[in-house]
């Protein structure tokens, strides 16, 4: 075998780049090494690539162990996991399997609908975290004078205002600034977890997110034609914005396709719970994009007893009967909402 140099585009793809228990992520220009959590410490603060070490061994900890969740991260081992350590069980079961397996150090679950689970049982484990904050620092919403290229307000929807923004790479995006720290953070965690695991033509695409201090921001693809309700309930002087019946039909069809995907094609049945024109976006050719998963819940389709117990922010006239009667919420609730949606 001849000698030579192999060049990789992403240093984080190189096994062990950040050492044992090290997590590799990318800044704008170079890879950065860190530890999984505050329960670990760097072996050498002058050489971050030496890896990390637990401050306290698991066997020395009182009480039961728990799994630390790293979103958008993948763990690597050498040698790679054996076929007997690969399962199709879903995210929650994957974590539990690792937790009850004495030799398991970490696990990786794929959220692509396959339910694939990899158990890591070797002593050397490294990680690659592929997602991080995408907005400039400090936050462009810290005050009105420092908003830079995020000044154009598109409207106030759900739990916060939506702004048109331009990222450093000149990409145009829609940025949702969540308001109300407690309630906003709940919606932030829910939307990131839900939207990032879904991929469909008629669902809004989440590009990134930011959780810095008390700021909670969601970054979406920008939809040129904005919100559907602006085209349905216009005044006479703005009648030029009214949709043709062909476009209305296509919007209803596209929205139905997105909701059907959430119900039947995701790993778990996802119920939107808040379907309405105000939560539908239109691109430049009037394709419908379902957005705002603020009340969405992941439901086990086989468990008819599951109830959603959460705060309701919608007017009573838009609520499905299950909300008002405190009955279990199922995918049928979205079907009723779609009927009202099409009627409007």
Where in the sequence numbering do the catalytic residues fall?
A: 274
Asked if 328 and 305 count as a contact pair (C-beta separation under 8 A), the reply is: yes
| Residue of 46, 43, 45 whose CA lies nearest to 21 | 43
The per-type count for the chain, helices as H runs and strands as E runs, is 6, 18
| Residue of 129, 178, 169 whose CA lies nearest to 31 | 129
- Reported for 185-191, long-range contacts at CB under 8 A and 24+ positions apart, including other chains, are 185/216, 187/158, 187/159, 187/294, 188/216, 188/218, 190/293, 190/294, 190/296, 191/218, 191/292, 191/293, 191/294, 191/296
The reply to whether omega before 138 is within 30° of 0 (cis) is yes
For residue 342, give both structure tokens: 């099409």
3-state secondary structure 36-71: CCCCEEECCCCCHHHCEEECCCHHHCCCCCCCCCCC
């Amino acid at each position: 075998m001849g000698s030579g140099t192999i060049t990789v585009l992403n240093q984080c793809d190189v096994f062990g780049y950040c050492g044992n228990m090290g997590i590799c992520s990318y800044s704008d220009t170079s890879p950065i090494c860190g530890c999984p959590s505050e329960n670990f410490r760097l072996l050498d603060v002058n050489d971050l690539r030496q890896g990390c070490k637990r401050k306290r061994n698991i066997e020395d900890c009182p009480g039961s162990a728990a799994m630390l969740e790293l979103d958008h991260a993948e763990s690597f081992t050498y040698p790679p996991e054996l076929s007997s350590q690969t399962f199709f069980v879903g995210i929650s079961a994957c974590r539990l399997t690792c937790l009850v397996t004495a030799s398991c150090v970490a696990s990786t679950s794929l959220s692509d609908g396959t339910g694939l689970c990899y158990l890591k049982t070797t002593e050397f484990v490294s990680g690659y975290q592929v997602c991080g904050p995408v907005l400039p620092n400090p936050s462009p919403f810290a005050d009105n004078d420092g908003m830079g290229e995020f000044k154009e307000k598109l409207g106030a929807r759900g739990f916060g205002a939506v702004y048109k923004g331009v990222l450093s790479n000149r990409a145009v995006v829609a940025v949702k600034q969540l308001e109300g720290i407690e309630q906003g953070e709940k919606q932030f965690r829910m939307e990131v977890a839900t939207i990032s695991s879904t991929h469909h033509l008629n669902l809004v695409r989440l590009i990134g997110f930011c959780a810095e201090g008390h700021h909670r921001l969601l970054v979406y693809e920008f939809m040129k034609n904005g919100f559907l309700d602006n085209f349905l309930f216009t005044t006479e002087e703005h009648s030029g914005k009214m949709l043709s019946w062909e476009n209305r039909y296509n919007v209803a069809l596209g929205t139905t396709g997105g909701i059907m995907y959430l119900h039947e094609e995701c790993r778990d049945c996802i119920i939107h719970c808040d379907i309405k024109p105000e939560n539908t976006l239109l691109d430049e050719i009037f394709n419908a994009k379902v957005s705002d998963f603020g009340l969405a819940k992941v439901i086990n389709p086989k468990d008819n007893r599951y109830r959603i117990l959460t705060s309701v922010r919608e007017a009573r006239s838009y609520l499905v009967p299950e909300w008002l009667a405190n009955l279990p919420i199922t995918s049928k609730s979205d079907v009723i909402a779609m009927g009202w949606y099409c009627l409007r």
